[in-house]
Amino acid sequence: MLDAGASSEKMWVVKSTASAGRSSSNPDLPRLRADLDAYMTKRRLRSTEQRRLIIDTFFDAHEHITIDSLLKQVRAIDSRVGYATVYRTMKLLADSGIVQEHKFGDGFTRYELNDEDHHHDHLICMECGKITEFEEPLIEELQARVAARYDFQVRQHKHELYGVCSDCQKPKKRRP
Amino acid sequence: MLDAGASSEKMWVVKSTASAGRSSSNPDLPRLRADLDAYMTKRRLRSTEQRRLIIDTFFDAHEHITIDSLLKQVRAIDSRVGYATVYRTMKLLADSGIVQEHKFGDGFTRYELNDEDHHHDHLICMECGKITEFEEPLIEELQARVAARYDFQVRQHKHELYGVCSDCQKPKKRRP
DNA sequence: ATTATTGCAAATATTTTGCAATAAC
DNA sequence: GTTATTGCAAAATATTTGCAATAAT
């Protein structure tokens, strides 16, 4: 259940995300859907009602969504969808490469679109659970240099900063 | 069980570590043990035979050790030690701050000494499981700058590169 | 007609916990 | 003597899987 790498204290809960609603305006959606179609056709995977529903729901949902949240949204439309199907569908998306799986340490796997052009990493607030994305090309550059130094071929990486976000550093407002 | 952040393909197994045996020559050991003693005294935690055995074994073992491996070594000396005790003891070490927990994606939590002066991150080979440590102060610096940019107080971080190590890139040798 | 997919329940696998017995202080 | 700790078994928890039924090709 723990996954932050250092402390083993009671884990905070990731409650929200900084990019809620972003995906619905993501200009790469059509391309990603086309990639997915190609992947499914190539592998002779079938387009079922459940998959279409789960995938549509995921594409409309905010990033960093969990299986639980996704299943709830899916079941609001078709209550008979099993959670194994959601797991299997998200795995399919991950295998196709259009989705990334993240484990930010609250015990739930989160999913987001894999935007290869604009790679980003994450700041995770241990107080409120907010997830903020950051891009820092210089870090990527140095990282590549480190890998080269060890003659290591990087296939994926994880760079996550855990701490306290700006909002949570402020003293709590008292109700007047 | 998966934890690498992107693919959901069958997970590699982390088999070994680049720093095997290092800890026994780690010059910071006495300081870390003193820190631990102070922590335990302050919290009125008791020095039991089991804890002493587990802690001694851990300090002598290679870094990135798993609970399983640690328990096996401990039981070679005292076969009656329960695994819950090992879990609880490692949690104690993590809470005290002298140990860091890592999840590199093979389903096992790994433990290493938390060397605050020489912070390092990890390269994890997805083929052979080798874990290599690297230090890159410039990345730490940029990371601090990113955090400052978002007014984010970093408490811990994770920077892991997953890929193929130098050895595993070479074609496999055929037996003559 | 063939074969992928679904949904359910059961299985997995790691870590945690309740509790009575034991040992450290 | 009090209270932390242990060891065991059972629980908790997220994810995976076997399988018969169903649906897509």
Q: Predicted confidence band at B28 (pLDDT cuts at 50, 70, 90)?
A: confident
List the single residue in B with minimal CA-CA distance to A132: B150
- Report how far residue A54's alpha carbon sits from residue A29's, in angstroms, rounded to the nearest whole number: 15
> What's residue A117's pLDDT?
83
pLDDT at residue B23 is higher than 50 = no
Residue A76 dihedral angles phi and psi, to the nearest 5°: -65, -25
Q: What is the DSSP letter of A127?
A: T
pLDDT at residue B24 is higher than 70 = no
Restricting to B residues 6-25, those with a Cβ less than 8 Å away from any Cβ of A are 6-9
Asked whether residue B45, judged by its CB, lies under 7 Å from any atom of the DNA or RNA strand D, the reply is yes
Q: Predicted confidence band at B22 (pLDDT cuts at 50, 70, 90)?
A: low
> What's residue A2's pLDDT?
33
Q: Predicted confidence band at B155 (pLDDT cuts at 50, 70, 90)?
A: very high
Find the range with the poorest average confidence among A108-112, B55-59, B60-64: B60-64
By C1' distance from the Cα of B66, the closest nucleotide is C14
Q: What is the pLDDT of residues A8-30, one digit of tens each?
A: 555 677 775 555 445 456 888 88
pLDDT at residue B25 is higher than 70 = no
Instruction: State the sign of the Cα–Cα–Cα–Cα dihedral A17, A18, A19, A20.
Output: positive
> What's residue A131's pLDDT?
96
pLDDT at residue B104 is higher than 90 = yes
Q: To the nearest whole percent, how much of chain B has pLDDT over 70? A: 84
The beta strands (E) that lie in chain B are given as 65-66, 99-103, 109-113, 121-125, 131-134, 153-164
pLDDT at residue B3 is higher than 50 = no
Query: Which residues on B lie below 8 Å from A164 (Cβ)?
Result: 152-153, 155
Helices and strands, number each (H, E), in chain A: 6, 6
Q: How far is the CA of A83 from the C1' of C10 (A)?
A: 15
**What average pLDDT values come out for chain A (176 residues) when binned by 10 residues?**
47 64 69 94 96 97 94 97 97 96 94 90 95 96 98 96 95 63
Residue A60 dihedral angles phi and psi, to the nearest 5°: -85, -20
Q: Predicted confidence band at B122 (pLDDT cuts at 50, 70, 90)?
A: very high
Q: Predicted confidence band at B27 (pLDDT cuts at 50, 70, 90)?
A: confident
Average pLDDT estimate for B104-117: 91
> What's residue A1's pLDDT?
38
> What's residue A174's pLDDT?
63
Q: What is the pLDDT of residues B70-93, one digit of tens each?
A: 999 999 999 999 999 999 999 999
N- to C-terminal Cα separation, chain A: 39
Q: Predicted confidence band at B26 (pLDDT cuts at 50, 70, 90)?
A: confident
Average pLDDT estimate for B138-159: 97
B13 vs A21, higher pLDDT: B13
Q: For residue B140, which of B125, B156, B124 has the smallest C-alpha distance? A: B156
- Report how far residue B39's alpha carbon sits from residue A152's, in angstroms, rounded to the nearest whole number: 39
pLDDT at residue B168 is higher than 90 = yes
> What's residue B117's pLDDT?
82
Restricting to B residues 89-128, those with a Cβ less than 8 Å away from any Cβ of A are 90-91, 94-95, 97, 100-103, 109, 114, 123, 125-126
> What's residue B21's pLDDT?
47
- Return the HEC string of A88-126: HHHHHHHHHCCEEEEECCCCCEEEEECCCCCCCEEEEEC
- A-B contacts at Cβ under 8 angstroms: 170
